Amino acid sequence: MITRKRLAAGACALLAALTASLAVPSGAVADETADKVAPKVDLVLDVSGSMRTRDIDGDSRMAAAKQAFNEVLDATPEDVELGIRTLGADYAGEDRQTGCKDTAQLYPVGPLDRTEAKTAVATLVPTGFTPIGPALLAAAEDLEGGNGTKRIVLISDGEDTCAPLDPCEVAREIAAKGIGLTIDTLGLVPNAKLRVQLSCIAEATGGTYTSIEHTDELTDRVNDLVDRAADPVVVPRAVEGADACAKAPKLGSGLYTDREEFGQERWYRVDVLPGQELRTSVSIAADRAVDPSYGLLVRAVTVHGREIVRGEAAGTGRTDVVSTGLRYPKPERDDAENSQDTAGEQKPAAETVCVVVTHSFSPAEGVKTTPGLPVEMTVDVVGGPSGASDVAAFGLGRGWWLLGVLVLVGFLAGLLWGWVSRWRIAVWRSN
């Protein structure tokens, strides 16, 4: 005989099984052992003469940097390839031309030998100039090769002293290569000019700037950035748009980066099958001074020039990034519109959609117009709303099955609570 207690126990077991099924995504493999590409980090340290200044926790800036580096080296994850580069560490003379070449690889980017790296850091003595631009160019070369994430962490207590090689322009050139390299900057003194320069360097590559005044802040921040390099990220693929659809590169689903000159249009092509939906989002960053009031327009156009759909956004100078996007669901075609394969069977024909990106930024007076402004574009071609797996009914996407499971769990929980309540009342009455 099935008692209420057994029914309750069975319901609890079913609830537990459903909960466990939610915890493991469909298709997940517990013993997945896919090889991970090692992330790379190059710590670039300013060892110029000003690092002798004693204003960080009663000690010199150099002492604070050394202590932070030792603690960071101890905490670096095993799967991170780490290197150390210096600037201003070797030349103590007054010749500016020579001093502005003073950057060296203290410890090569690769598997970390903590003892060897600490020994190298211990030898550093504040010495010369502050060639930030040349150091960034060299650090980018240190990180060449491989498809993993790449990050430069620049630590400096002063502005670059080697103009006209502007370190901000160097960072923009690195970003324009589309190699997915991020530069984070840390300033060791609360100096307004230093903040402006280091912020510009970081923003050019999507990195961060942090002002540091204490040794523990420096340690924590560098540790955080090294750990962040080990997090999986999507690296944008560099692509060069054309001035017409016929010459435009063909893109699939993915993340792309490009540069667009002022007053220029960039064209790209995407193939969309019947029943699929094209989703595109575009962002343009003003990485230099621009006039206020600007806009961004992205359009989906047929190969014959007919506009299908557009997305647009405007800014007024309060932000240096403007973004917009569009969606184009391609309906299912009739058989008459399908092409035939060699076996004589009907085969859906893809439509080539031209994606056109236009912006209305204008440079401020005296600002360089090249390279163009950085463009980041996401392209996603998924199943359309008519029944493909990526977009389910009611616009809930892949969450539709989850909602169904939650409804079932709620229903069973209600039944269970009802049974338990009735059983407790029956016991109470019997007593």
Report which secondary-structure segment, H or E, holds 328: strand 321-329
Q: For tokens 């580069």, name the residue.
A: 85
Q: CA dist 18 to 22, 27, 254, Å?
A: 6, 16, 34
275 φ/ψ sector (left φ>0, alpha ψ -120 to 50, else beta): left
Beta bridge partners of 33: none
H/E element holding 255?
strand 254-260
Residues of the chain with pLDDT below 70 are 1-36, 178, 232-235, 317-319, 333-348, 384-402, 431
The pLDDT score that the predictor gives to residue 235 is 65
- Asked if 45 and 158 count as a contact pair (C-beta separation under 8 A), the reply is no
Q: What is the pLDDT of residue 322?
A: 84
Report the candidate in 175, 183, 202 with the shortest Cα–Cα distance to residue 372.
175
Token digits for 329? Answer: 């669901």
The whole-number pLDDT of residue 332 equals 76
Q: What pLDDT score does 319 carry?
A: 66
| Three state DSSP letters for 20-49 | HHHHCCCCCCCCCCCCCCCCEEEEEEECCH
The predicted structure's pLDDT at residue 37? 78
- Residue 350 neighbours by CB under 8 Å, 6+ apart: 271, 272, 273
Residue 229 three-state SS: helix
The secondary structure element, H or E, covering residue 339 is strand 339-340
Among residues 328, 359, 357, the alpha carbon closest in space to that of 239 is found at: 357
pLDDT score recorded for residue 356 = 96
Report which secondary-structure segment, H or E, holds 329: strand 321-329
Q: Give the Cα separation of 40 and 258 in Å (integer).
A: 23
Select from 119, 136, 44 the least CA-distant residue to 83. Answer: 44
Q: For residue 389, give the DSSP letter.
A: T
- State both tokens at 161: 């002293």
- Residue ranges and CATH numbers for the domains of the chain are 40-229 (3.40.50.410), 237-338+346-391 (2.60.120.380)
Q: Look up residue 75 and give its two tokens.
A: 């905490």
Please give the pLDDT value at position 431: 66
Strands 150-156 and 181-187: parallel
CA atoms within 13 A on the CB side of 149: 21
What are the strands, taking DSSP E only, across 111-221? 150-156, 181-187, 209-211
Please give the Cα distance from 391 to 400 (Å, whole number).
9
Give the C-alpha separation, 385 to 346, whole Å.
Answer: 22
**Residue among 223, 193, 212, 191 at smallest CA distance from 56:** 212
Mean pLDDT of the chain: 82
Across the chain, which distance is largest between two alpha carbons, in Å? 101
Residue 336 is predicted with a pLDDT of 45
Tokens of 326: 């569009």
Q: What does the pLDDT look like over 13-43, one tens digit per residue?
A: 444 444 444 444 444 433 333 456 789 999 9
